Amino acid sequence: MDKSSAKSRRFNMIKKHSSLFFSFLFFTSTCWANTFPDQLAVPGGIVKIAIGNITEPAPKAFFYDKRVFVTASGTQWMAVVGIPLSAKVSEHKLTIKTASGEQQLAFNIADKEYPAQYLTIKKKRMVTGFTKEDLKKINADKVAMSRAKAFWTEQAVDTNFIAPVDGRLSSLFGLKRFFNDIPKRPHSGLDIAAPTGTPILAPASAKVIDTGSYYFNGNTVFLDHGQGLLSAYLHMNTITVKPGQLVKQGEPLGTVGETGRVTGPHLHWMVYLNKVPVDPALFIASDIPRLDARNKK
């Protein structure tokens, strides 16, 4: 090999490694700047578990066979696990898969007693007495929403959320719900009451998965934030985004309304991790007191 060829080869190697090094610095510094959701190891909460050193390739993590969001945190890879509301109060296991094999990490879920909420729904067919057409629509909605909730993209995730609407905290996540004294599923989102027409904003950068008009949920938008972190916006009046559209934090998705099964205008905001709804308040913990203070005025 002549001197010029050797010199060229060394230059290319240095260029390659320098590129990898600066890419690594950029990636880790971006992740360090991220604001993680608060941990709450209860049904409906979030558990964060260190699963490997960042000098190694990112492991894959699974909770009950569902892929889990993994991101860099300092010098560690961190699994951010969504806990179903139906989870038993006991020890659970996270499965970690790497090129060298598989292991399980155990963690415990504590109990949390969610209060009951009784609501009167004036539109009786939103609670019982569904027609054949109603049931056809309800079943079609389930298929469409299941498809949206199964969405997964491999990308860095921004968890530095802002509140999607400026309003009053009107209903907490996890409440045991009774509509017209009939027991229904627990409340799977966070309700923020605001006048019809109030702007609804993207809490962080995302891609619009789908939009639709559903029987119970009314006008709805689904966002993909990456790696199974999804969010949904229900009971909207207007929708101003389209499937496939990229949105940045603070950009409008539409406006507050009272479509679907509601008692008044509000945003029902949902956040999903590994296909299960978790408490959105954990993502905007510092802003919850401001929204809740409006209940005291």
Q: Which residues pair with 14 in a beta bridge?
A: none
Strands laid side by side in the 91-98 sheet: 46-53, 76-82, 66-73, 60-63, 91-98, 101-108
Structural domains present in the chain: 46-108 (2.60.40.1590), 116-296 (2.70.70.10)
In percent, the amount of the chain with pLDDT more than 90 equals 74
Over 90: is that where the pLDDT of 11 sits? Answer: no
CB 59 within 8 A of CB 51: yes
Count the helix, strand and coil residues of the chain and give each as a percent rounded to the nearest 5. Answer: 25, 40, 40
Range 64-76 average pLDDT: 94
| Ramachandran angles phi, psi of 285, nearest 5° | -55, -40
> Mean pLDDT, to the nearest integer, of 71-92?
95
Which residues fall within 8 angstroms of residue 192, CB to CB, at 6 or more apart?
163, 164, 165, 167, 168, 169, 170, 266, 267, 269, 291
pLDDT value of position 297 = 65
Average pLDDT of the residues of the chain: 88
Instruction: Write out the two tokens for 233.
Output: 């916006």
Higher pLDDT, 262 or 34: 262
Q: Which residues pair with 177 in a beta bridge?
A: 117
Q: Is the pLDDT of residue 95 over 90?
A: yes
Q: Give residue-wise pLDDT tens across range 204-231.
A: 999 999 999 999 999 999 999 999 999 9
Q: Which pTM value belongs to this model?
A: 0.85
Lowest model confidence (mean pLDDT) among 2-11, 21-30, 122-131: 21-30
Residue ranges of alpha helices (H) inside 88-187 are 132-149
Read off the pLDDT of each residue in 154-171 and give the average, rounded to a whole number: 93
Smallest CA-to-CA distance from 157 within 79, 100, 210, 234 is with 79
**Per-residue pLDDT at 185 exceeds 80:** yes
Taking residues 161-171, report their average pLDDT.
Answer: 96
* Least confident interval from 15-24, 53-62, 172-181: 15-24
**37 neighbors 80 (Cβ within 8 angstroms):** yes
What pLDDT, on a 0 to 100 scale, did the predictor assign at position 234? Answer: 98
